[in-house]
Structure 1
Amino acid sequence: MSTTALRVVRPVSITPAMLIGTGVPEADYGEWNASASYGVSDRVIVAATHKVYQSTVASNVGNDPTAVVAEPKWLEVGATNRWKAFDKSVSSQTVFPSNIWYSLRPGQAITSLGVLNIKGGTSMRVRMIDPTYGTVHDKTYNLASTPVSTGWWEWVFGERRTPTQVLITDLPSYPTAEIVIEIIGTTELAVGVILLGQMKQFTMGVLRGARVGIQDYSRKERNEFGDVLIVERAFAKRANFSMLMTSGEVDAFNDFLAEVRATPCLWIGSSKYESTTVYGFYKSFDIILNYTDYADSEIELEGLT
């Protein structure tokens, strides 16, 4: 399929201290108040944890949602809207009309950036601003829709497809730089994942015959009358790659996969197909030492929902 090496980005865990600024408010619900009484299914946020919690009992007074107790009175729903872009879930999206921007200072060198599951986006601008050298990167990436097929008729009348992700793997290395990400779009603008890290490359390329697909977690059942009942749920991307590598890469690749066995990473099989980009884990891998100077490798990837 490709002569491009397998590229892997191990994301930096974004902490509140790294967030310098954002245009997305953290006002999903009211802040939890120890003296207030909450009913069943009432929701609150706790700004200290950047999480949303839902009450599971009536007359819920004075019970801290973040406390670890034998019989919790609150259920953790998930990250607040501001932090959904960093919650390690592709399907949960930060939603804000027209303009979503974040300013981050990771405190380490960042060479790669991935923005996934974009909805309603038209463009994205990425700037890196170093305190000593000033702006060292400033580029705008187009998210305009393009025809699915080629030809003048398809260009004018055919179905069009809007990119849902932006992958940048050539950012300059400035450990103290501030990274500003600004996504412009429609009133339905949303983004699922923003991740930053350093990219590693392995193998001589992903071979032809790569397999991609999804694992659907929707429920599809028939009742006693034969009617189909469908409950739409999240899905996870999956992919299987076969690759060729030099013998000198074998140990480094094996050691890296051992290191990230419990860490979700961004796996990029080919820049030509969005479907070969998977944010998640590997389920299994094999390295076949069947040549003196080269080795075959196979890896199975499973994305996060």
Structure 2
Amino acid sequence: MSIRNLNVVRPLIVTAAMLVSTNVAEADYPAWSSGTTYAAGARVIHVGAHKVFQSTQDGNVGKDPTTTAGFWVEVGATNRWKVFDRSVSSQTAQASTIQYRLRPGQAITSLSALNLIGATSMRVRVIDPTYGTVYDKTVDLSRVPVSVGWWEWFFGERRAATQAVLMDIPSFPGADVLIDFTGSALLAVGVLLLGQLRTFGLGVKSGARVGIQDYSRKERTEFGDVVVVERAFAKRASFSLLLTAAEVDAFNAFLAEVRAKPCLWIGSGRYESTTVYGFYKSFDIVISYYDYADSELELEGLT
């Protein structure tokens, strides 16, 4: 018994040229200036790289953070660009609304938002210069009860969706893609991922395994007390697929191409936990039958 086909999205690398507009300011820290002297610990934004750097020593002047080693350490992407870095845990945060307008320059068939906090809705529009608005969908991300029943509805715990995955975007290479998030004062988005959807297999078999790899530190002191330092975690998943003979070579070649590239792996739309943004650890294809083959896929998500 299968859950659904395996869907994979190889993310488009979003560049500054693709960003038409956004309401997220790039003002985390002052912009780096070649004529300013920075003390140890001072942080700046390199506008061209869209990254934050921290000075490692006093008297730091005229040293470009992107080209001079030893004077700067990279902290990470700016708040505006955190949704496009390769980290799920780093988030673009802004109260109430977050908006992006992108011009990918190629057909996009899938769009996903991961690690959402405080979001109540996500609206995605595709606007073509010739045909106008060809796609307009709003995803409700409101908190819902975790259990069924009248008591749970009024008094029970409610859980908000932490991701939104759209796989029905029409192909218009010249169109702009507009993404609008609305939410609370704690609104934050971890990953905004666009790409072309690839589908493999006749189905992900029942028995799929999901979990996490926790990088928190849990140690006992000499007195027996437990010291816990909470850190990031990464999702894990293990899928068994049934492939047709005709797609064995294509699946094998695709996995070889993305061996060092993070992708979005979607095992089932029913279970959020089967959506993993990261790499595959290993895969095996067993040509069990003349017309069909079995495949085992181990996935490890990004933190």
Same fold (TM over 0.5): yes
Question: What corresponds to 2:23 in structure 1?
Answer: 23
User: How far does residue 61 in structure 1 lie from its aligned partner after superposition?
Assistant: 1.8
Residue pair 2:3, 2:206 contacting (<8 A) in 1 also: no
**Alignment of structure 1 residues 6-155 onto 2, 5 Å:** 6-69=6-69, 72-155=70-153
Aligned mates of 1:40, 1:230 — CA distance in 2: 30
Which one of the candidate residues 290, 293, 296 is aligned to 2:291?
293
Q: Deviations over 1:186-212 (max 9, x none)?
A: 000000000101101001111111110
Identity %: 66
Which residue identity is paired with 1:153?
W
Q: Deviations over 1:92-127 (max 9, x none)?
A: 000000000000000000000010001000011100
Which one of the candidate residues 261, 267, 272 is aligned to 2:270?
272
Residue pair 1:2, 1:270 contacting (<8 A) in 2 also: no
TM superposition score normalised by structure 2: 0.98
CA RMSD of aligned residues (A): 1.0
Which residue identity is paired with 1:48?
G
User: How far does residue 222 in structure 1 lie from its aligned partner after superposition?
Assistant: 1.6
Aligned mates of 2:147, 2:113 — CA distance in 1: 25
User: How far does residue 68 in structure 1 lie from its aligned partner after superposition?
Assistant: 3.8
Residue pair 1:3, 1:204 contacting (<8 A) in 2 also: no
Segments of 5+ residues of structure 1 without an aligned counterpart are: none
Query: Once superposed, which parts of structure 1, at least 4 consecutive aligned residues long, lie more than 3 Å away?
Result: none
Aligned residues: 303
TM superposition score normalised by structure 1: 0.97
User: How far does residue 158 in structure 1 lie from its aligned partner after superposition?
Assistant: 1.3
Q: Deviations over 1:249-300 (max 9, x none)?
A: 1111111111111111000000001000000000000111111111111100
Aligned mates of 1:39, 1:196 — CA distance in 2: 39
Residue pair 1:261, 1:281 contacting (<8 A) in 2 also: yes
User: How far does residue 39 in structure 1 lie from its aligned partner after superposition?
Assistant: 1.5
Which residue identity is paired with 1:167?
V
User: How far does residue 243 in structure 1 lie from its aligned partner after superposition?
Assistant: 1.2
Aligned mates of 2:285, 2:167 — CA distance in 1: 26
